[in-house]
Every structure is written in C-alpha cells, then in structure tokens.
Structure 1
Amino acid sequence: MSWQRAEDLAWVQSAHSGVVQVATFPDTQVYSLDGGAAVIWKLLDEPMGRDELVSRITEDVLLIPDDISEEVDRCLSQLAGLGLVEQR
C-alpha cells in the first residue's frame, strides 16, 4: 500500500518559511503544515509506501530510520485523520 495526497485539495508553500497551507473542499478547512509534516507533504508529490517515505526522509536529514519511524506513522495518521492524505 502507498500513501498519497487526498484529492480535492488546494495547497501552497511559503518560499520564505517552508510552511505548507492546505485547504480542503468543499468544507474549506485550512491547515498549516510545518516541520516534519511539511516534509512528508512535499515527498508525497507522488504516491509512496511508508518504508520508502521513511527512507527518503532519513536520507535527506541523515537520521536512522528506527529513530523516526514512529513519528512518521503518527504524522501520517494525523494527516489522514484530517483528510489530507490517504492510503491506497
């Protein structure tokens, strides 16, 4: 299974701060993603499995996968709960 951004969303990233603003439709909820959530959002430009996602994050910031796996799982769960990402 892979994770991907949900459909019917609009988003923009601040060039200055790196914060990602995501709006849902039709209910028009706006969420601000920063830190790890913004990194995950950007990586999900294409559908990606959880293990690949963890691997890509650890490559970029030189961390050990076991050190961030739970954090990535928690973030994906929260983003899914908000309707911003989905698992297929």
Structure 2
Amino acid sequence: MPVVFRERGYRFYFYSDEGDPREPLHIHVYKDGVDAKLWLYPEVVYADNHGFDARTQRWIAKIVETRRDEIEGAWHDHFGTGA
C-alpha cells in the first residue's frame, strides 16, 4: 500500500492491487479510522467517503487537486504505466 504523502496526519495512498482490470487513477485518504476514495479525472470527486465531515472533505479535495500531478506520477511509477 504505497503512501504518496502525508499531510496533517492524513495518509494519502493507493493499494498495490487496484482491481483487474485496474480502476482508473484515484487516491485513498485515511486518518483515525475514517477513510475516503477520490477519483482524480476528469475532476477531483469523491468515489466513497466513510466519515469525513463536509469541511474536511473540501480540504482533502483541495489538497488532492493541488497535488494531482504528484499523485499521478506516483501512480504511474508504481504501476509501471506511462503518463
């Protein structure tokens, strides 16, 4: 489960086994037993949210949008897919 980065105690990561066929580019977020999954394209949107409040969701989405290139690069590096 590669961790792409940590911010304010939140872990931003993806799973090494992201389905077969592999799901589209996305990121998981976890903190204190609460988690979410966000799609990165065509825009940053929540696929799932299991407990983050609305304010935290907005903050997470902004971080993911700001660091989308970094997340995408880590995804391609890990899965060996070209950008």
TM-score normalised by the chain length of structure 1: 0.36
- Structure of higher RCO (CA pairs closer than 8 Å, 6+ residues apart): 1
The structure that has the greater radius of gyration is: 1
* Higher share of residues assigned helix: 1
| Greater per-residue strand proportion | 2
TM-score (norm 2): 0.37
